[in-house]
Amino acid sequence: MAKPVVKKEYTLSERIYLWEILKGMKLTWGHFWFNFKACWRPGPHTIPTCWQYPEDRTREISPVFRGEHYLQRDDKGREVCIACGMCAKICPAKCITVKKGKREEGEEDKYASKTYPASFQIDLLRCIFCGFCEETCPKNAIVLGREFELARFSKEECILDKRKLLLNYRKAKEEGKLKPRKKPVPVVPAPPKPEKAGGGEAKKIKATAAGKAPKKPVEKVKSPEQVEVSEKKEVAEKEK
Amino acid sequence: MDDWLVAIIKVVGIWVWVLLIAVVMTWVERRGAGLIQDRPGPNRAGPWGLFQPLADGIKLFTKEEIIPTKAQKFLYIIGPALFSLPAFSAYAVVPFGDKIILGGKEIILQVSDVNIGFLYILAIGSMAVYGVILGGWGSTNKYSILGGLRSTAQMVSYEVPLGLALLAVVFVYGTFSLRDISLAQQGTFLGFLPNWGIFKQPLGFILFIVAAYAEANRVPFDLPEAESEIVSGYHTEYGSMRLGLYLFGEYVNLVTISGIIVAIYFGSWHVPYIDLGAYLGPISWGIVSFCIFFLKVSFFLWMFVWVRWTLPRFRYDQVMGLGWRGLIPLALFNIFITALFIQLTV
Amino acid sequence: MNQNLTPQTGHGTGDYVTVNIGPSHPAMHGTLRVIALTDGESLIKAEPEIGYLHRGVEKLGENLSYHQFIPITDRLNYCSAIPNNVSYEMAVEKLMGLEVPERAQLIRVIMMELARIADHQVCVGILGVDLGAFTPFFYLIIQREEIYEIFEWFNGARLTNTFGRIGGVDADLPDDFEERWNELKPNVRKANEETEKLLTHNRIWMDRTIGVSAFSAEDALNWGFTGPCLRACGVKRDLRKDEPYCMYDKFDFEVPVGKNGDVFDRYIVRMIEMEQSIKIIDQAYKLYKEMPADAPLMARVPKVIKPPAGEVYSALESPNGELGFFIKSDGSANPYRIRIRPPCYMIYQAFPELVKGELIADLVACLSSLNVIAGELDR
Amino acid sequence: MDLKKRVEQCLGPENLVVAMAECQGDLSVEVPKSSILDVMHLLRDTPGLGFNFLSDVFGVDNLDFNKSKKKPKEKTEEGEGVEEITTKESLPPRFEVVYLLLCLERNERLQVKVRVAEDDMEVDSLYSMWKAADWPEREAFDMYGIRFKGHPNLKRLLMWDDFPAYPLRKDYPLEGQGEERYLIYDD
């Protein structure tokens, strides 16, 4: 187990230190001079490789960025979420809790479908921003937005309830940062079966989009939890 | 009485001046590092981040002083003082300009023109090692002790080539006084070169600058505080202004070393080919010579920064090998050549 | 721990000092700890102690579904999360007998090679930092940021990518990938060149790295080395060539091999591998473009993944070496046992051998050249 | 000749194969625990095999695996405890140690398995053959309590030395048993 002895063979320029050192210094001087000149440019974004973050927000965030969540509303301003609980189920960090509520008469302008989340909580301290909830959501209701400033002053602020999630939606909409709907990934077409053959290409792709993760509700959540009317009303009032 | 006053003004003035440069150097170092590394560096406090050193100073001054429970209190406290004291006092014999005539009185721009300037510098420079080793030992920390030991060995070893390089300079100029050497560098050498020490002692200059880098614990010789190996070396356990003294002491050392390099090898306040002193009045020449000297010093200060962010670090045995096997024979060779040359020409 | 450090070599009086390096130390990447017995500057013995970042990933995997484990694999080697994801996905796909569409494989190759470049850049940069050369680190890390930008535009995360799904990938390459890549490629090359200029022929660097912690090929194989550290010892082994996966057999690239297995060779091997990765990405992207735009990216996968009972081991060449996942399935929706074979785990166990008789400064150089990532090591 | 036959040829005559299985092209051989070193020597040194690289060593706890085979029918009616007792007799030993071998010349992989019963948790260490077995064996000891005879430094690797349990065993709860209290130092 003796260690191999390595013979060092240096060329002359390597041997005398100085030549390579001077070459290196020339290189660093090039960088210094380039950046020194860049320093005098106006504006916060002077040196091309550095963003002066709080002042300079010109850096483009990817449209598919996985940041702070929001709950989507549809064109009529109704909540899209149907409280199916898929997101809570798929979440690897178990940070989502959803309580289902049933839409009552006269609430059609508030909730898009018959069920809605009576409460919807995301614990940002647990969330790992994997984006599975977004991917698995059958209604595209929960979305990880482009907001990346997640620092908070207290633990309570880190728990996003439904109100905050909808507020996030409004904020994102106002800033024009709504996430475009993710393009479904084309899936290997199914082996030809008589009933599926007539489906057509578009339908196939659509059907297969759910192929990877349980994108459509695989099984119905067994029974909607009993939600007290008062709680529901509370939420409704908050909405106003 | 006037002499006293002038001396005190010079002492206080140069002290403040050197301290100021050292403080600004902390900013230059970080900003320069930033620009070399494609990032802006500290640019928040004040215009271009110029108040950064001020903020750092306030921070260091107002931080809680912590003395580790197991530290040897006396040594721990005296360490930084012993380090910064020689750093500040070494500049005393280094000139910072030619001379100025005020009220008919000729004032040389140097705190004191002793005729054993070199010896003073070497003696005072060696003192700094006490601050390092005592601080390292007093902290009762293994990293600190390692750093202190490294620093001691390095400083002691590199003092030899440093002294030998200076010896060759003494051969050339026949004096120990830095002012006399500065004065002797006026005019041209061999008819076309400025009469600067570097052209008479090219090898000596390289030896001196390498040894000086090692003495100042700068990259590539920054083993005593090699961050990745022994955390911060001898000042691992230090905080607040004690740490500040170590850090400022280092920068003051840089100023002193740059001053010596300029005074010995780079023609002090002389401009090549032109004798500005002959054209300017006594007062303006004093100021101009000071500025020229300072400009040259700033270049070498910048060199320290520049080299630091270019090179990797030596290893302990390699530093020792370079010092004893590389620099000292070369320095002796340099002395031999110089002596031979002088013997043949004179 | 200390009783264990019995002096074996050394030339001093026997007055040895135990120096504790880490787990919180500027040179320790993550939370590694080395207990070094020193005689002055030279090491008598250095014993690594690991487990400071142990998060029970394997236990966690047994309690998550197959899909849910993908984000957890991000947290193994956090310098290059994508090969971890893909390695895990490949293991599950092997277990299920899935055939991944070619286009998805190409995207995987492109992303993995980008991750490889990023990982090597970090490793080389950190090696420089640990040896006192701070500047190359920044030149490299700036380009790594650009690579992360591509990741971000791919599926929204920079570091913990959660790349791919079982049976394929989760997204197509962004539309502007070609633009970004063409912009990035010369920059990466330039950064690498500059790093080489600053370091490779600099005698200080050479002195610090050549011959330091040299290792022979037999020893390396005996200790279970893989990846750049093994190739630096002179063994031409690269899973991309030897056990091709993800269409790697279609690409033309070279496997750099070192001679001495010292820090310098590891550094050079990594530098060359980055260049080869660029070549691979170019080829893969060319193949990718030749495919129809609506070519499938996902295999047909059931909504709830329940692989048949069985046990498979599947490995790929991660930037650090062979990264393998052993999965034992009992037919349920959760894996029964997931074993991760992290490359640097095997390499790091030889650390006492690697640094025996070197100096303290070499310990740091050796450690950074091995590219030990605590997340992967402790799992 | 395919790998399965070669392995059989090599180990068969000496009665060293307990079982062989193939899953998606991964061949695994179960061998008797007492002769693991012999098997490894044979696998390494036989010319046709030449498995000269030890890729990994790890343990597997088959507690639930054994149970789940019986689960679907019986478990709903009977209590869990009762079931465990009734099935224990017929079950194979609880733990497994899996060795992943690799032949560098032919790039063939082989899983070698050893069953370890709960009452006799000692396996011969492979440290003498491959240094690579150093930490993986320590980890198997750490996580499952499987002891390796002849290992020079068999201590806990990832968990701290006083850790009272074996965390990767199936009966160890996911959230732990509150062992962190041992980390609070008194002095």
Q: What is the pLDDT of residues B293-302, one digit of tens each?
A: 888 888 988 8
**How far is CA B92 from its chain centroid?**
12
Q: Which phi and psi angles does B108 have, rounded to 5°? A: -80, 140
What's the average model confidence in pLDDT over D141-148?
Answer: 87
Q: Is residue A130 part of a domain?
A: yes
Q: Sorting pLDDT into bands at 50, 70 and 90, what band is A229?
A: very low
What's the average model confidence in pLDDT over A58-78?
Answer: 83
Residue of C nearest to D68 (CA): C330
Most A CBs within 10 Å, among C9, C66, C68, C163, to test the A interface: C68
| Tokens, residue A189 | 């077409």
CB contact under 8 A, C155 and A131: yes
Q: Is residue A152 part of a domain?
A: yes
Residues D121 and D149 sit within 8 Å (Cβ to Cβ): no
From CA B230, how far away is CA B317, in angstroms rounded? 16
Angle between helices C177-199 and C263-290 in degrees, nearest 10: 160
Q: Is the pLDDT reported for residue B291 higher than 80? A: yes
Greater pLDDT, B187 or D145: D145
- ipTM rounded to 2 decimals: 0.83
- CA angle C368/D161/C355 to nearest 5° reads 25
From CA B21, how far away is CA B15, in angstroms rounded? 10
From CA D154, how far away is CA D143, in angstroms rounded? 12
Helix (H, G, I), strand (E, B) or coil at D13: helix
Q: Give residue A221's pLDDT.
A: 38
Q: Give residue B183's pLDDT.
A: 81
Q: Give residue D186's pLDDT.
A: 53
CB contact under 8 A, C133 and B312: yes
Length reported for chain C = 379
Spell out the residues 6+ positions from residue B345 whose beta carbon is closer than 8 angstroms to its own: none
Q: Is residue A156 part of a domain?
A: yes
Q: Is the pLDDT reported for residue D12 higher than 80? A: no
**Domains held by chain B: number:** 1
Of the candidates D120, D99, D107, D119, the residue with the CA atom closest to the CA atom of residue D31: D99
Q: What is the mean pLDDT of chain A?
A: 74
What's the average model confidence in pLDDT over A29-36?
Answer: 88
Q: Give residue A214's pLDDT.
A: 40
Of the candidates C65, C169, C86, C110, the residue with the CA atom closest to the CA atom of residue A135: C169
CB contact under 8 A, C25 and B227: no
In the beta sheet, which residues pair with residue C313? Answer: C326
Q: Is the pLDDT reported for residue B286 higher than 50? A: yes
**Domains held by chain A: number:** 1
Of the candidates C342, C57, C90, C318, the residue with the CA atom closest to the CA atom of residue A92: C57
Q: Is the pLDDT reported for residue A198 higher than 60? A: no
Helix (H, G, I), strand (E, B) or coil at C311: strand
From CA A88, how far away is CA A225, in angstroms rounded? 15
Q: Give residue D1's pLDDT.
A: 65
**How far is CA B307 from its chain centroid?**
15
From CA C27, how far away is CA C24, in angstroms rounded? 9
Q: Give residue A124's pLDDT.
A: 87
Q: Give residue D105's pLDDT.
A: 84
Residues B244 and A56 sit within 8 Å (Cβ to Cβ): no
Burial class from Cβ neighbours inside 10 Å (0-12, 13-18, 19+) for residue B72 reads middle
Q: Give residue A130's pLDDT.
A: 85
Q: Is residue B197 part of a domain?
A: yes
Cα-only R_g, chain B: 21
| Tokens, residue C24 | 């919180």
Chain A residues closer than 8 Å to B43 by CB: 52
From CA A117, how far away is CA A100, in angstroms rounded? 5
Total Cβ atoms within 10 A of residue D180: 10
The Cα of A18 is separated from the nearest Cα of chain B by a number of Å equal to 10
Q: Is residue A49 part of a domain?
A: no
Q: Is the pLDDT reported for residue A224 higher than 80? A: no
Tell me which CATH code domain C57-378 carries. Answer: 1.10.645.10
The Cα of D120 is separated from the nearest Cα of chain C by a number of Å equal to 22
Q: Is residue B230 part of a domain?
A: yes
Residues B114 and B177 sit within 8 Å (Cβ to Cβ): yes
From CA B167, how far away is CA B173, in angstroms rounded? 10
Of the candidates C244, C254, C246, C257, the residue with the CA atom closest to the CA atom of residue C277: C254
Interface of A with B in 85-144 (CB under 8 A): none
Tens of pLDDT along D75-125? 444 444 444 444 445 567 888 888 888 888 888 888 888 888 888 888 888
Q: Is residue A50 part of a domain?
A: no
Q: Is the pLDDT reported for residue B211 higher than 50? A: yes
Chain C residues closer than 8 Å to A6 by CB: 210-211, 214, 260, 262
Helix (H, G, I), strand (E, B) or coil at B132: helix
From CA C350, how far away is CA C225, in angstroms rounded? 9
| Tokens, residue A207 | 């059907």
Tens of pLDDT along B176-191? 888 888 888 877 777 7
What's the average model confidence in pLDDT over D163-178?
Answer: 81
Which strand (E) or helix (H) includes residue B152? helix B142-173
Q: Give residue D184's pLDDT.
A: 58
Q: What range does the domain containing B326 cover?
A: 69-345
Q: What range does the domain containing A140 cover?
A: 69-183+214-239
Q: Is the pLDDT reported for residue D170 higher than 50? A: yes
Closest CB to A31: pick one of B36, B48, B206.
B36
Q: Sorting pLDDT into bands at 50, 70 and 90, what band is C165?
A: confident
Helix (H, G, I), strand (E, B) or coil at D99: strand
Q: Is the pLDDT reported for residue C246 higher than 50? A: yes
**How far is CA A139 from its chain centroid?**
16
Closest CB to C203: pick one of A15, A188, A211.
A15
| Tokens, residue A12 | 């002359």
Residue C160, sorted as left (phi over 0), alpha (psi -120 to 50) or beta, turns out to be beta
Looking at residue A100, its amino acid is K
Residues A3 and C356 sit within 8 Å (Cβ to Cβ): yes
Tens of pLDDT along B303-337? 888 888 888 888 888 888 888 888 889 889 988 98
CB contact under 8 A, C300 and A13: no
| Tokens, residue A99 | 């309580």
From CA C350, how far away is CA A18, in angstroms rounded? 36
Residues C212 and C205 sit within 8 Å (Cβ to Cβ): no
In the beta sheet, which residues pair with residue A97? Answer: A121
Q: Say whether residue A202 is in contact with chain C using an 8 A CB cutoff.
A: no
Adjacency order of strands within the sheet including C42-49 = C17-21, C33-39, C42-49
Q: Sorting pLDDT into bands at 50, 70 and 90, what band is C4?
A: very low
Which strand (E) or helix (H) includes residue C237? none
Q: What is the mean pLDDT of chain D?
A: 77
Greater pLDDT, C271 or A50: C271
Which strand (E) or helix (H) includes residue C316? strand C310-318
Q: Give residue D110's pLDDT.
A: 86
Angle between helices C360-370 and C263-290 in degrees, nearest 10: 10
Q: Is the pLDDT reported for residue A3 higher than 80? A: no
Chain B residues closer than 8 Å to C204 by CB: 220, 311-314, 318
Q: Give residue D154's pLDDT.
A: 85
Chain B residues closer than 8 Å to A32 by CB: 32, 35-36, 306
Residues C93 and C85 sit within 8 Å (Cβ to Cβ): no
Q: Is the pTM of this model over 0.95?
A: no
Helix (H, G, I), strand (E, B) or coil at C359: strand
Q: In CATH, what number is assigned to the domain containing residue A112?
A: 3.30.70.3270
Q: Sorting pLDDT into bands at 50, 70 and 90, what band is C346?
A: confident
Tens of pLDDT along B163-177? 888 888 888 888 888
| Tokens, residue C114 | 């980008």
**Cis previous bond, C48, omega within 30:** no
Total Cβ atoms within 10 A of residue B196: 21
From CA C130, how far away is CA C208, in angstroms rounded? 11
What's the average model confidence in pLDDT over C46-61?
Answer: 86
From CA B190, how far away is CA B93, in angstroms rounded? 29
| Tokens, residue C36 | 């070094």
Pseudo-torsion of CA C183, C184, C186, C188, nearest 10°?
170
From CA C100, how far away is CA C246, in angstroms rounded? 9
Q: Give residue C306's pLDDT.
A: 83
From CA C187, how far away is CA C63, in angstroms rounded? 43
What's the average model confidence in pLDDT over C44-67?
Answer: 86
Q: Which domains does chain D have, with CATH numbers?
A: 3-183 (3.30.460.80)
Residue of A nearest to C141 (CA): A49
Q: What is the mean pLDDT of chain C?
A: 85
From CA A35, how far away is CA B343, in angstroms rounded? 51
Q: Give residue B178's pLDDT.
A: 82
Q: Is the pLDDT reported for residue A169 higher than 70? A: yes
Q: Is the pLDDT reported for residue D52 higher than 50? A: yes
Percent of chain B with pLDDT over 90: 0
Cα-only R_g, chain C: 21
Q: Give residue A6's pLDDT.
A: 72
What's the average model confidence in pLDDT over C65-85?
Answer: 87
Chain C residues closer than 8 Å to A64 by CB: 153-156, 171
Q: Give residue D180's pLDDT.
A: 64
Closest CB to B306: pick one of A25, A35, A36.
A25
Chain A residues closer than 8 Å to B35 by CB: 31-32, 35-36, 39, 47
**Burial annotation B140-156 (CB, 10 A radius, 16+ → b, else e):** bbbbbbbbbbbbbbbbe
CA distances from A94 to A86, A123, A130 (A): 11, 9, 12
What's the average model confidence in pLDDT over C39-48?
Answer: 83
From CA B300, how far away is CA B305, in angstroms rounded? 9
Residues A140 and A72 sit within 8 Å (Cβ to Cβ): yes
**Burial annotation C121-133 (CB, 10 A radius, 16+ → b, else e):** bbbbbbbbbbbbb
Which strand (E) or helix (H) includes residue D135? helix D134-144
Q: Give residue B186's pLDDT.
A: 78
Q: Which of A103-107, B17-21, C286-290 has the lowest mean pLDDT?
A: A103-107
Q: Give residue A2's pLDDT.
A: 59
Chain D residues closer than 8 Å to C51 by CB: 156-160
Residue of A nearest to C134 (CA): A28
Q: Give residue A219's pLDDT.
A: 40
CA distances from C323 to C75, C90, C379 (A): 14, 11, 13
Angle between helices A162-174 and A229-239 in degrees, nearest 10: 20
